Structure 1
Amino acid sequence: MHGDAVVACSAAARAAGVRRRMRLRVALSRCPQLRVVERDLAAEMRAFEPVARHLEDTVMPRLEVIRPGLIAAPARGPSRYWGGEQQLADRLVAAVAELDFPARAGIADTVFTAALAARAGQLVPVGADAAWLAPYPVGVLGLPRLTELLNRLGIHTVGQFAALPEDKVLARFGSEGAAAHRSARGVEARPLTARASCDDHVVTYAFEPAEQLLEPVTFVAKALAEQLHERLAAAGVVCARLEAGIELADGRTLTRIFRHEGRLSALAIAERVRGVLQAWADAGALDAGGERGIVRLVLRPEQLSAATGRQAALFGERDTPEEVERAAARVQALLGHRSVVRVELGGGRGPADRVRLVPFGDLDTGDRLPTGPWPGRLPAPHPATVYPTWLPAQLTDEDRQPVTISGRLALSAAPSHVAVEGHGEAQVAGWAGPWPVLEQWWDRERSRRIARMQIAAADGRAWLLLIEHGRWWAEAHYG
């Protein structure tokens, strides 16, 4: 899952009706026993890079990684070398099988059609893309809002959509719809320029001295991606492919090409670069020569075309993810990297344990899994305010004696008064708990034994208290 949408699913999940781009709620309704995993793009790139390198070494050079698990490459030259398109497809599948992975290959005139053909393991004849695509539902075009609107208009198949006049589609659905219309007609979604690449838009960064750690290179890749987007936007163009390359201290150069339809965000580029670098490091490619370290990072856009913009208001969109990302980047440039954060839920028992504030654009490297079991986890309702530093508190009975909790979780007396530093004292109207927490008991320095209680006061306030070493603290407040 990524952003509440399915990005990949197993054969068993597909058999249960789960599909890519499906919302989590819908997927779980079709398959309640579904195992959900949050996407880690850098890990996927790291795992897939050996497959791409093996194909480049054994079957065809200069592959384009669309996403981990999906690659594209020109078939004309390699098919002649291997004796035909079918022989090339068979050789690709066999090469991947040598690494103990299943694979399917497809060949067509366009990348979009070839990707669909690969799912079925078919070869589309030359010039037959439009006819081959015609029976597919319009949902395969990957634009949910366009699909919904076309279905309302009675257009349910790709062939029906392709039959519409091109100028009418552009006027009604904008550039995004026009690109989908080109795909439906068996034409590349984005017309290419005569030049395969333009050196005017290449961005580079030189490391002095040579950088031997991967994390600084990943950070630079994100900054270079932002610079690249600014240059392309100023020139009014977009790129269909992006080549990321590094120059090593021993004189060698390693490159990888990424293909995308649309705008690769700076974070997406950084994740891809990070995954590929880690894969090269794991394979020993970065240490194969004499001198060690990376001396230069290069991002080179290829297949430039005019930026046609978008008509977001046509489908009710307001702030797109790209616009939010650009705004956050500007704020971070002015106020600091940690000035814009996003909330990530993780594992843990207390409210402060379950929430992590991750700087916008950074990869979430939290090591606490959100899945359980978490014995002693705080039940709902959850507090509105969690204090970064616990507030001293007192919980006493009717005789003003401190309330304690025994090892068997028995209260010494019923709570009668609660007092929190800075918030005065009030009578206790009700309580829930206690809930014990015993964490990392095997580690003397990191072990923790506490118990939590929810306290409702007569003045209308509600507190989350915890007791540790016989002392009460206010951990959070319910607003």
Structure 2
Amino acid sequence: MDRLACVDLPAFPLQLLVRKHPDWQSFPVVVVAKDEPQGVIQWVNAKARAARILPGHRYAHALSLAPDLRAGVVAEHEIATGVAAVAERLRRFSPEIEPCADAPGVFWLDGAGLERLFGSRRRWARGIERDLREQGYELALAVGFSRFSTYAVARSRPQGLTLFDDPDSEHAAARDVPLELLGVEPRLRDHLRRLGVVTVGEFLHLPAGGVLERFGAEAHRLHRLAAGEQWDPLRPKAAVEPIEAVQVFDDPERNTDRLLFALERALEPMFARLVRERLALARLFVEYTLDRPPGAGRPRRGRVGPPPHLEATDEYGRRVRIDALRPAEPTLDLQVLMRLLRLRVEGDPIAAGVREFSVRIEPVPATREQLELFAHQPRRDLAAANQALARLRAELGDGAVVKASVRDGHLPEACYGWEPLRARAPAAPQPRDQRSLIRRIRSRPRLLPPQEGRYRDDGWVLGDLEQGPVIRVLGPYVISGGWWTGGVHREYHFAETRRGDLLWVYYDRRRRRWFDHGRVE
């Protein structure tokens, strides 16, 4: 049977808070929902629990019990970032990792066939335990055969490694686990406690049909998982592919402004991909390949200490400069990053011309607020557009910026006009099931070459040879009138060419000539 491991980092948000403040390890520490006196405590460490501080207490009440209490807020994006970082470390031991969606800090690893790589299953498990402990995490690890049993055992044994050799011993150990350690819904837990059902084994003694009828579908699913009657496969999360881009210059680039412009052009599609994948930039790495060998750079003046960048030599013997930038917090704002890039390049000038550069983004999950802010702030800035139009009017006159408006008219060219455009308004597109065709009208109809006899659907050439002859004609659609100005009689047709163009032409009865009046797109 395939092996499965469950890693449990108990009180994961609390561990993240202590890692952020290492000097708090000797104090009682709690995680609060809000940094205010009435904030609800969510997680507590052993020293806080010894001072009778429990989850659900208010922060002010906890301070009265432990004056030296340390507290902090762990945001959702910090938890998501921490989960992603731990999952990335675990990929050193298994290619298939599934973080638990309901319990941050719980991970399942597929261990099939890995004993051949690590020597034995115990060495594989010890490697996972040692690596996470070196990172400062407290963990419990259970290696067995099923998701539910390994999870239950890992939750009940908060420290150390548990390795099962057969499914029977794993199932027996899971039966002794209290239900309250498995995150069972409080109402269901209280109902079962009144019946004297406290452990998984006692829960399995209840008939499955009765559990479904009395406690609902979720309790029935838990019963089937604990009994091993429902298949619950591993659903690994795909690794985040690196987001990279490379730009090669024809000649070494020495101008800082042009270099930063090229960097911005390379980063724009990368940021668009971050938004699509609901990620944010945590770090940026830029590697410049210079056109001078090592030691040929210009001396830096006015700098004390080592430069903020790294220098190396690539496999071709070329000099390479590596800049690593980290914003104050993961961001989706390209301009914030470009300001940091400009500060780095201007404060620590590049010693030679840049032959090429490569940029790599280290992503983390984006917060809901970041994605909403990005969606509510489109790239088109109406204020900037109106300022640009004002500059055009100032230079070329008020008639230089106009917009089309609908007018009452009989002929097509009289159905619209031009009026001054004062300011751009926000776009308000209407949802449609089908895309609308656009008829583009020439300001003055183009006279077509004379035709011998009546037009035909085959062989009629209205433009260049690339457009091809007309293969189909629809019409006529007659527009007549204007007797007060001498009269107008036009027979409009839609002419489709071999290339696919749809032209709008008409035959003028008074002039006895064909005219090209526009096209349909």
Q: What range is the shorter-chain TM-score in? A: 0.3 to 0.5
Q: TM-score, normalised by structure 2?
A: 0.36
- The structure having more radius of gyration, on CA atoms, is 2
